[in-house]
C-alpha cells in the first residue's frame, strides 16, 4: 500500500475511513450532511446518484458539504458527459475535470473531514505509485537487425513465446506524423472511436494528458484507416508478419488492425486475442509495459466464464495492479516486458496479456494475424466453437432469425467465416490448407497416438510427443474497446 503522504489531498477534502480512526474522529458525524442517505453505505449512495443527470447533481452539491463531495465524483460526471455525447455525438473536455467540462465551473476545495473509502478509492488509484521498474523485464528481446524471419518463426512463433523486437518498427517511428503536435495540427478535427464514443482527436489528446480517471478512456480505433488514411500509409507490417492468411478474405475478414492512443494509466486489461490469432504491436511514441501469462495459466484475479464468452476481473488495471501484481510477479510463468518507440511486441496466440501506457502520450498500431503456423488453431476454433468468433459484421438476415438465440446467431457467423476461409485457401493457398488438415487429423493425446499407430509399441519405438492442443485459445475475449 502506498504511504498516505505520497498521495495529494482529495480535491474535496475526502479522506479514507482509516484516517478517522487514527485521529479519533467520527465517520458518522462527517456523514450527517447526507440526510436520509446516511442510512445506507457510501457505495450504494454513489450507485443511486449514477441514475441522476447533471442538473440533479448540481442541486445536490449545494445542499451540504457531504453531498457536494458525493455529487462531485468524477465517475458520476464522466457518465453524464458520455450520456450527453450519445445524444449529440460531441465530447468536450476541459480543465482536467469531467464536471468542469459539463458545467464550466472549476473544482473547489470546500468540504473537510468526510471519511469515505468509496469516494477515496478512485483518487487513491489515480495517484498510486506506478509499478516499480523491472528494467527491460523477463521477456525475450532481439534486435531486428540480428533476427531473421526464419529465426523468428523457429524460436518464437512456432515455440509460442512472446518477444520484443527492438527496432522492428524503426522506420515507421522515425516519421513525424506520429508526433503529438503534428497529429493535433493535421488531424485534430478528425473523429476517432474512443471507448464506444466519437471523440475529436484534439479533444482526446487534451483529455489523455490531464484527467483524473482511474480507468482512462483509450483511443482504440479499428476504423482509423477510414478517418485518417495517411496514418495507415505511414507504416508497413514488419517482415516477420507478412504471411497473414486472413488477408485472403479481402474486405470480409474479422477486425484486424487498430490505432492506439492513450495517456498514463490507460491500457488494455487482461485478455486473449480473438479468433485464435496472434498479434504484433508497434510502439511509435511513448512507452508501454506488458504483462503476460501463457495460455493455460489464468492471471490471478481473472475468472473466465465456462463458455469462453466473458471474464470477470477487477474493473481497472490500477485495481488489478494494487490487488494482484505482487502475486503475479511471484508466479514462475509470469512474463514482463517494456517497449519504446520503434519496438515491436509479438503476442503468441492464446497468451493472456495486459498492457499499461507509461507516458502521457503514447501511440501504437497493432494487427491480429493468422499465419500458416497458426492456421490449425484458427480452423480448429471455428469448427469446435464457431460461436466464439468476434469482430465480424453480421448479415442482417441472421439478426432477423427470431428462432435463434444469441449464441446460435454467433455460431452461424463463425461457420460462415470458416467456409469462406477454407474456400479462399483452396483457391490460393492449398498447400497451407493441406498441411493444416493433416495436423488437425493427428491425435492430440498420447493414448490417441498409440491407438492410431499401434506399430510404435510393437516396434518398441517411443512415440513422438503429440501435438499440443491450443485449447487455451478460447478466441472469445476481445480488447473491450470496440
pLDDT band with cut points at 50, 70 and 90 for residue 480: very low
Q: Is 117 a domain residue? A: yes
Looking at residues 393-409, what average pLDDT do you find?
80
Task: Please measure the distance between the N-terminal and C-terminal CA atoms of the chain and give it in whole angstroms.
Answer: 33
pLDDT given at position 86: 63
pLDDT of residue 21: 86
Q: Residue 115: phi, psi to the nearest 5?
A: -100, 115
Between 96-105, 116-125, 253-262, 451-460, the lowest mean confidence (pLDDT) is in 451-460
Quick: pLDDT tens for 338-368. Answer: 999 999 999 999 999 999 999 999 999 999 9
- 224 within a domain of the structure (yes/no): no
Cell 478460447 maps to which residue? 474
Q: What is the DSSP code string of 68-81?
A: HHHHT-HHHHHHHH
The pTM of the full predicted model, rounded to 2 decimals, is 0.88
Domain co-membership, 19 together with 151: no
pLDDT of residue 383: 95
- CB-based burial of residue 380 (10 Å sphere; 0-12 exposed, 13-18 middle, 19+ buried)? buried
| pLDDT of 467 strictly over 90 | no
| 139, 337 Cβ separation under 8 angstroms | yes
Q: Does any domain span residue 99?
A: no
161 and 17 assigned to the same domain = no
Closest CA to 279 of 312, 231, 233, 246: 246
What is the rounded distance in angstroms from the CA atom of residue 210 to the CA atom of residue 73?
A: 16
pLDDT over 60 (residue 2): no
Residue 102 lies in a domain: no
Kindly state whether residues 46 and 152 are assigned to the same domain: no
pLDDT of res. 482: 37
407 and 384 within one domain? yes
For 7-21, 213-227, 231-245, 413-427, which range has the lowest pLDDT when averaged over its residues?
7-21
Q: How confident is the model at residue 148 (pLDDT cuts 50, 70, 90)?
A: very high
Query: What domain range includes position 256?
Result: 130-175+235-482
Q: What CA–CA distances, in Å, run from 449 to 182, 285, 442, 445, 455?
A: 59, 49, 8, 6, 10
Whether residues 30 and 141 share a domain: the answer is no
pLDDT confidence bin for 302, thresholds 50/70/90: very high
Give the pLDDT score at 417: 95
The string of pLDDT tens digits covering residues 253-267 is 999 999 999 999 999
Q: Are residues 114 and 152 in the same domain?
A: no
| Residues 36 and 143 reside in one and the same domain | no
Does residue 257 form part of some domain?
yes
Q: In this structure, is residue 210 part of a structural domain?
A: no
Q: How confident is the model at residue 475 (pLDDT cuts 50, 70, 90)?
A: very low
- Among 99-113, 287-301, 379-393, which range has the highest average pLDDT? 287-301
Percent of the chain with pLDDT over 90: 66
Confidence of residue 142 (pLDDT cuts 50, 70, 90): very high
- For residues 126 and 7, is the Cβ–Cβ distance under 8 A? no
The pLDDT assigned to 468 comes to 41
Say what the pLDDT of residue 456 is: 57
Q: Are residues 68 and 138 in the same domain?
A: no
Q: What is the mean pLDDT of residues 432-441?
A: 95
Do 47 and 150 reside in the same domain of the chain?
Answer: no
Confidence of residue 461 (pLDDT cuts 50, 70, 90): low
Q: Do both 325 and 471 map to the same domain?
A: yes
- Grid cell at residue 193: 472511436
3-state secondary structure of 166: strand
How many angstroms separate the Cα of 257 from the Cα of each of 140, 248, 260, 294? 24, 15, 10, 23
Tell me, yes or no, whether 158 lies in a domain.
Answer: yes
DSSP-based helix, strand, coil % in the chain, nearest 5: 45, 15, 40
The mean pLDDT of the chain is 88
Give the Cα separation of 384 and 360 in Å (integer): 43
**Which helix (H) or strand (E) covers residue 150, if one does?**
helix 149-152
Cell of 67: 453531498
Residue with cell 493457398: 429
Question: Looking at the structure, do residues 337 and 417 belong to the same domain, yes or no?
Answer: yes
% residues pLDDT > 70 (the chain): 86
Q: How many domains does the chain have?
A: 2
pLDDT at 88 over 70: no
Residues 112-123: pLDDT tens digits? 679 999 999 999
So what's the pLDDT on residue 457? 56
Q: Which residues contact 419 (CB under 8 A, 6 or more apart)?
A: none
Q: Give the pLDDT score at 455.
A: 62
Average pLDDT on 5-33 reads 86
Distance CA 469, CA 62 (A): 62
**Per-residue confidence (pLDDT) for residue 407, from 0 to 100:** 87
Asked whether residue 212 is domain-assigned, the answer is no
Which CATH number belongs to the domain containing residue 276 in this structure? 2.60.120
* Chain-centroid distance, C-alpha 472: 18
Residues 119, 138 within the same domain: no
Amino acid at each position: 500500500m502506498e504511504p498516505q503522504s505520497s498521495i495529494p489531498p482529495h480535491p474535496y477534502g475526502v479522506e479514507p475511513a482509516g484516517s478517522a480512526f487514527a485521529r479519533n474522529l467520527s465517520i458518522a458525524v462527517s456523514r450527517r450532511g447526507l440526510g436520509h442517505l446516511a442510512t445506507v453505505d457510501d457505495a450504494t449512495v454513489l450507485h443511486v446518484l449514477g441514475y441522476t443527470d447533471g442538473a440533479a447533481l448540481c442541486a445536490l452539491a449545494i445542499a451540504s458539504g457531504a453531498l457536494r463531495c458525493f455529487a462531485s465524483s468524477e465517475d458520476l460526471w464522466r457518465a453524464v458527459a458520455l450520456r450527453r455525447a450519445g445524444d449529440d455525438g460531441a465530447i468536450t473536455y476541459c480543465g482536467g475535470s469531467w464536471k468542469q467540462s459539463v458545467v464550466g465551473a472549476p473544482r473547489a476545495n470546500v468540504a473537510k473531514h468526510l471519511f469515505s473509502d468509496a469516494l477515496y478509492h478512485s483518487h487513491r488509484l489515480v495517484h498510486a505509485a506506478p509499478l516499480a521498474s523491472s528494467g527491460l523485464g523477463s521477456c525475450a528481446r532481439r534486435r531486428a537487425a540480428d533476427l531473421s524471419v526464419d529465426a523468428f518463426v523457429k524460436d518464437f512463433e512456432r515455440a509460442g513465446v512472446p518477444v520484443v523486437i527492438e527496432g522492428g518498427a524503426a522506420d515507421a517511428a522515425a516519421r513525424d506524423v506520429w508526433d503529438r503536435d503534428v497529429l493535433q495540427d493535421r488531424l485534430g478535427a478528425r473523429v476517432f472511436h474512443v471507448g464506444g464514443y466519437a471523440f475529436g482527436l484534439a479533444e482526446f489528446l487534451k483529455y489523455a494528458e490531464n484527467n483524473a480517471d482511474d480507468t482512462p478512456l483509450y483511443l482504440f480505433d479499428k476504423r482509423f484507416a477510414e478517418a485518417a488514411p495517411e496514418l495507415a500509409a505511414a507504416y508497413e507490417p514488419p517482415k516477420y508478419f507478412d504471411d497473414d492468411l486472413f488477408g485472403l478474405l479481402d474486405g470480409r475478414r474479422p477486425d484486424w488492425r487498430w490505432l492506439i492512443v492513450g495517456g498514463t494509466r490507460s491500457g488494455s486489461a487482461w485478455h486473449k486475442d480473438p479468433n485464435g490469432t496472434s498479434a504484433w504491436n508497434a510502439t511509435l511514441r511513448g512507452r508501454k509495459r506488458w504483462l503476460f501469462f501463457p495460455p493455460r495459466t489464468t492471471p490471478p484475479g481473472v475468472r473466465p466464464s465456462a463458455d469462453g464468452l466473458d471474464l470477470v476481473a477487477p474493473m481497472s488495471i490500477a485495481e488489478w495492479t494494487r490487488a494482484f501484481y505482487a502475486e503475479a510477479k511471484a508466479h514462475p510463468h509470469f512474463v514482463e516486458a517494456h517497449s519504446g518507440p520503434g519496438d515491436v511486441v509479438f503476442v503468441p496466440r492464446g497468451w493472456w496479456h495486459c498492457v499499461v501506457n507509461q507516458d502521457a502520450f503514447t501511440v501504437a498500431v497493432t494487427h491480429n494475424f493468422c499465419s500458416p503456423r497458426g492456421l490449425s488453431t484458427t480452423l480448429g476454433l471455428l469448427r469446435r466453437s464457431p460461436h466464439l468468433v468476434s469482430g465480424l459484421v453480421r448479415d442482417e438476415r441472421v439478426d432477423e432469425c427470431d428462432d435463434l438465440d444469441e449464441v446460435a446467431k454467433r455460431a452461424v457467423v463463425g461457420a460462415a467465416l470458416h467456409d469462406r476461409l477454407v474456400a479462399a485457401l483452396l483457391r490460393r493457398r492449398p498447400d497451407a490448407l493441406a498441411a493444416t488438415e493433416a495436423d488437425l487429423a493427428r491425435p492430440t493425446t498420447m493414448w490417441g497416438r498409440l491407438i492410431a499407430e499401434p506399430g510404435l509399441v510393437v516396434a518398441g519405438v517411443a512415440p513422438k510427443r503429440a501435438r499440443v492442443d491450443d485449447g487455451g485459445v478460447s478466441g472469445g475475449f476481445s480488447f473491450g474497446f470496440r
